[in-house]
Structure 1
Amino acid sequence: MTKKNVKLGVFLAGTGHHVASWRHPHAIPNATMNLNYFKNLAQTAEKGLFDLLFLADSLSVSTDSHPNILTRFEPLTLLSYLSAFTSKIGLIATASTTYEEPFHVARKFASLDHISAGRVGWNVVTTSLSSTASNFNQTKHLEHSERYKRATEFVEVVKELWDSWEDDTLVINKETGQFIDESKFHEINHKGDFFSVRGPLNVCRSPQGQPVIVQAGSSSAGQILAAKHAEIVFTAQENKNDAIKFYQHLKGQMPTYHRDQTSLNIMPGLFPIVGATEKEAQEKYETLQELIVPEIGLSILGRYFGEVDFANIPLDTPFVDIKLPEQVDGIQSKHDLIIKRATNEHMTLRQAYQWIAGSRGHHIAIGTPTQIADKIEDWVASGAADGFNIMPALLPDSLNDFVQFVIPELQERGIFRTQYESNTLRGNLGLKNPVNQFEK
């Protein structure tokens, strides 16, 4: 059987993905606003031949927000900077379909795709935090189903705008005075339930044809959006069997929208703790876990359950004994994931907040480089993933460990590249440039 190449992204988040990483002795105090720090991380990831860097984003913060979120660069601005210090690695930024406009998003991502010579992707999010509304002159946050209806139309408008210039629209003939071929320059004249947009875009067609579409929601509505439009899906899958079911269900929906299943890469989050021995790796993990402040862990857990005040519940209470809402107007898939694992493993409230605060519900892999590589190879070979979005617990240490020790293991097995195949993100992911919908 031909071995399948693993796709790898790296989730860059301040001092690391672990909620208490900022308290670790190795953490850099001003990491979230340190350009040189992010430049070094990006160059380390490119040295490790990762497919892409991923920057999440939020548009609302409070005193109990993760320090990585409280203050951080706007993603496209930071990636514009990092594009000057890298040449191959993909650059994924998050932008909200609930609190932005299609023309702005289309223009910003097309511009960065030109600046980076074809390495950009847009992580499409609908924004789950209801408190965001008050930062955007709104009194009410759109409910879940409406956010996804808006998101679907939003993505369609952005893709139309990206196609409003055909590949050879620019003529620039100084002798004849013709700057563009007007027959290849299109008004889109979109009129829908949420948007009315004339177009065309004021940025010519990008090096990839269109930036890569990324999506991170795993709810039913999120999966429909992904099946229609996504080329990468980031998802939280805590165990392999659930990951296989998700993979099959999502890819199984793609033919409905006349899409080939190979045009989508499903990349669950992976939270690796690498040690020379299994004991050393476990000690690294426990060191971070012990740094979690209970009040912060409970607050993070509470975000997935609406109005539940976990602070007033004894920490040794079995999680199944706590009265919880069946539905929330937030990240429904994460809500369901927490309940399922906490119930199956008979967790206490303390164990639940430590787990979710540390890894945000993503799969934790603790062990030697060989053991981590075994897990990655097994999940991909079993049809649970096309690759992983690596979520380093502590930066830069965890990323350095992965690049130095795990990447060579994957290369030795013939399941990860030894050099970049292309200069563009699409090229390295094995994705074709999309056909322009206005071409005759």
Structure 2
Amino acid sequence: MSQANRRMILNLFLQNGGSHKGAWRHSSTKLDELHDIKYFQRLAKKAEEARIDSLFIADGLSIEAKAVQHGPILGFEPLTLLSSIASVTEKIGLIATVSTSFNEPYNVARILASLDHISSGRAGWNIVTTGVERTAFNFGLKELPAHAERYERAKEFIEVALKLWDSWDADALIQDKASGIYADARKVHDIQHEGTYFSVRGALNIMRSPQARPLLIQAGASEAGRSLAAHYAELIFTVQQSFEDAQLFYKDIKKRTAEAGRSPDAIKVLPGLHVLVCATEAEALEKASELQQLGSMERAVMSLSNLLGIDFSVYALDDPFPELPDLSQVNAYQSFYQMVKKIVEKETTITIRELLEKHWVGNGQLRIAGTPNQVADLMEDWFVNGAADGFSVMPQLASGGTEAFLELVVPELQRRGLFPDTYSGQTLRENLGFDPL
């Protein structure tokens, strides 16, 4: 997509409880919907009517038992859920988180290719390396593999998946009744991969999918994460709270992508945006205040602890924020570590409570509560001035939050000429303006 034709990309992050940790307790939330497939299907259809580019379902592979008392946790397995959503939509992209640390490439390549077929070319893979230690205990490990090792495994995992998706040539499927040849065996190839982490003969047991392969998405701002994204990703989900930090990240990832031999325009940067939009500013601020009172501080501490790999529950909430270890000692999510470190270095007297109340609505992403114009102004500023190619939109309210963004903000973005009102193709790659493979 040339700069002349550049337009904002909007990805909708679907969560069963809203992105604010207290949203499930809000008076507007309909609790009977939160674990109902029809709820997700209804929101997906509304998002498609608004011409949203893609839906995103996050995932985790473990749970802290005491967390369940504080609100909805990750529910349906994303690929299963998105397959159901595919059956009631036609154009909107379908992105799922799948970990490279606790899966096998063959299974993942097959399942994602299946979703791409089921959806007629709308699948996307959010590639994560999983930095939560308790997850390792669910997969027969005594400890979480080191950060560097997880990324080395991820790199090889992606390479194997790419080989598997290419194991069927585009014209391998013949389906000739007269000759009795269903597929040309000369055009289906064993990949014969032998590597450090995987040994895979191949070929994939499903034909080449409509996009040839799913769209590749990465989330992470560590050195290893940025390098992985620069080499493989087409979208990158990011976590920045300030315009200045977002500009620096945007410039860095575009530079790294060019150094990896790809066009800087081959990767699109989408910061997370926690949004609460109302017709008036007063109403938006009132709801934001209500949510602040409803959020569980204990759950926020758990979230902070899991993402940084540090047990913050041993500290008093109103004591000064404890000194963080050196980055080299962090084996969890380094992107969140870097964000928190920057906050505590700037606000030297901040307490754990203050950090969580001021900066941790979801998991520390940018947030705004305001009118459609105020939300659109922020988004336009970041988009036009080199801080974002679009946003991963995270409605704070479980019930009504998504609809408010779709009905109030999207039309304003379209009025400003920042976002299209029709889909330009069938596949996710086509609709985002990427060249076909």
Task: Note whether the superposition's TM-score is higher than 0.5.
Answer: yes
Letter of the structure 2 residue corresponding to residue 326 of structure 1: D
Preserved contact between residue 132 and residue 307 of structure 2 (Cα < 8 Å): no
Give the alignment partner of residue 406 of structure 1, picking from 405, 409, 425.
409
Alignment correspondent of 1:42:
44
Give the alignment partner of residue 380 of structure 2, picking from 369, 377, 381.
377
Give the alignment partner of residue 415 of structure 1, picking from 399, 410, 418.
418
Q: Distance in 2 between matches of 1:51 and 1:339?
A: 33
Alignment correspondent of 1:98:
101
Is 2:172 the partner of 1:149? no
Q: Distance in 2 between matches of 1:275 and 1:32?
A: 22
Alignment correspondent of 1:164:
167
Q: Distance in 1 between matches of 2:313 and 2:277?
A: 32
Q: Distance in 2 between matches of 1:75 and 1:229?
A: 22
Q: Distance in 2 between matches of 1:226 and 1:64?
A: 34
Alignment correspondent of 2:436:
433
Q: Per the alignment, do residues 373 and 307 of structure 1 end up closer, same or farther by CA in structure 2, a change over 3 Å counting?
A: closer
- Cα deviations by residue, 1:263-303 (Å, 9 ceiling, x for unpaired): 21110101112122222211111110111122222222222
Give the alignment partner of residue 141 of structure 2, picking from 134, 138, 161.
138
- Cα deviations by residue, 1:181-237 (Å, 9 ceiling, x for unpaired): 223211111111111111110111110111101111111101111011001100111
Alignment correspondent of 1:109:
112
Q: Distance in 2 between matches of 1:309 and 1:241?
A: 28
Q: Distance in 1 between matches of 2:93 and 2:175?
A: 30
Preserved contact between residue 21 and residue 296 of structure 2 (Cα < 8 Å): no
Secondary structure at 1:329 match in 2? coil
Q: Per the alignment, do residues 263 and 185 of structure 1 end up closer, same or farther by CA in structure 2, a change over 3 Å counting?
A: same
- Cα deviations by residue, 1:362-409 (Å, 9 ceiling, x for unpaired): 001222111111111111111111000000101231111111111111
Q: CA deviation at 1:347?
A: 3.1
Q: How is 1:345-356 mapped onto 2 (pairs within 5 angstroms)?
A: 345=347, 346-356=349-359
Preserved contact between residue 176 and residue 182 of structure 2 (Cα < 8 Å): yes
Q: Per the alignment, do residues 369 and 288 of structure 1 end up closer, same or farther by CA in structure 2, a change over 3 Å counting?
A: same
Q: Distance in 1 between matches of 2:92 and 2:264?
A: 24
Give the alignment partner of residue 248 of structure 1, picking from 239, 248, 251.
251
Alignment correspondent of 1:60:
62
Q: Distance in 2 between matches of 1:40 and 1:412?
A: 25
Give the alignment partner of residue 333 of structure 1, picking from 332, 335, 358.
335
Q: CA deviation at 1:75?
A: 0.5
Q: Distance in 2 between matches of 1:34 and 1:261?
A: 40
Preserved contact between residue 94 and residue 122 of structure 1 (Cα < 8 Å): yes
Q: CA deviation at 1:47?
A: 1.6
Q: Which deviates more from structure 2 when the two are superposed, residues 82-91 or residues 348-357?
A: 348-357
Preserved contact between residue 423 and residue 431 of structure 2 (Cα < 8 Å): yes
Q: CA deviation at 1:356?
A: 4.5
Q: Distance in 1 between matches of 2:243 and 2:5?
A: 19
Q: CA deviation at 1:14?
A: 0.8
Q: CA deviation at 1:71?
A: 5.2
Gaps of 5+ in 1: 435-440
Alignment correspondent of 1:278:
281
Is 2:290 the partner of 1:287? yes
Q: Distance in 2 between matches of 1:413 and 1:237?
A: 24
Give the alignment partner of residue 267 of structure 2, picking from 247, 264, 268.
264
Secondary structure at 1:417 match in 2? coil
Letter of the structure 1 residue corresponding to residue 21 of structure 2: V
Preserved contact between residue 373 and residue 412 of structure 2 (Cα < 8 Å): yes
Alignment correspondent of 2:323:
323
Q: CA deviation at 1:125?
A: 0.7
Q: Per the alignment, do residues 3 and 424 of structure 1 end up closer, same or farther by CA in structure 2, a change over 3 Å counting?
A: closer
Give the alignment partner of residue 236 of structure 2, picking from 230, 233, 255.
233
Q: CA deviation at 1:162?
A: 0.3
Q: Per the alignment, do residues 156 and 32 of structure 1 end up closer, same or farther by CA in structure 2, a change over 3 Å counting?
A: farther
Alignment correspondent of 1:438:
none
Letter of the structure 2 residue corresponding to residue 20 of structure 1: G
Q: CA deviation at 1:69?
A: 5.9
Aligned pairs, number: 431
Q: Distance in 2 between matches of 1:100 and 1:52?
A: 24
Q: Distance in 2 between matches of 1:179 and 1:104?
A: 24
- Cα deviations by residue, 1:289-326 (Å, 9 ceiling, x for unpaired): 1111222222222224434334541x33333xx23323
Is 2:211 the partner of 1:219? no
Q: Distance in 2 between matches of 1:304 and 1:93?
A: 19
Q: Distance in 1 between matches of 2:5 and 2:208?
A: 35
Alignment correspondent of 1:12:
14
Q: Distance in 1 between matches of 2:292 and 2:306?
A: 19
Q: Which deviates more from structure 2 when the two are superposed, residues 381-390 or residues 27-36?
A: 27-36
Secondary structure at 1:351 match in 2? helix
Q: Which deviates more from structure 2 when the two are superposed, residues 17-26 or residues 339-348?
A: 339-348
Q: CA deviation at 1:343?
A: 3.6
Q: CA deviation at 1:3?
A: 6.9
Secondary structure at 2:31 match in 1? coil
Q: Per the alignment, do residues 391 and 68 of structure 1 end up closer, same or farther by CA in structure 2, a change over 3 Å counting?
A: farther
Superposed CA RMSD: 1.7
Letter of the structure 1 residue corresponding to residue 324 of structure 2: L
Preserved contact between residue 6 and residue 415 of structure 1 (Cα < 8 Å): yes
Q: Distance in 2 between matches of 1:36 and 1:294?
A: 31
Preserved contact between residue 4 and residue 380 of structure 1 (Cα < 8 Å): no
Preserved contact between residue 308 and residue 334 of structure 2 (Cα < 8 Å): no
Q: Distance in 1 between matches of 2:5 and 2:294?
A: 40
TM-score by length of structure 1 reads 0.94
Letter of the structure 1 residue corresponding to residue 222 of structure 2: S
TM-score by length of structure 2 reads 0.95
Q: Distance in 2 between matches of 1:137 and 1:203?
A: 30
Q: Distance in 1 between matches of 2:281 and 2:344?
A: 25
Secondary structure at 2:190 match in 1? coil
**Residue identity (%):** 43
Gaps of 5+ in 2: none
Secondary structure at 1:270 match in 2? strand
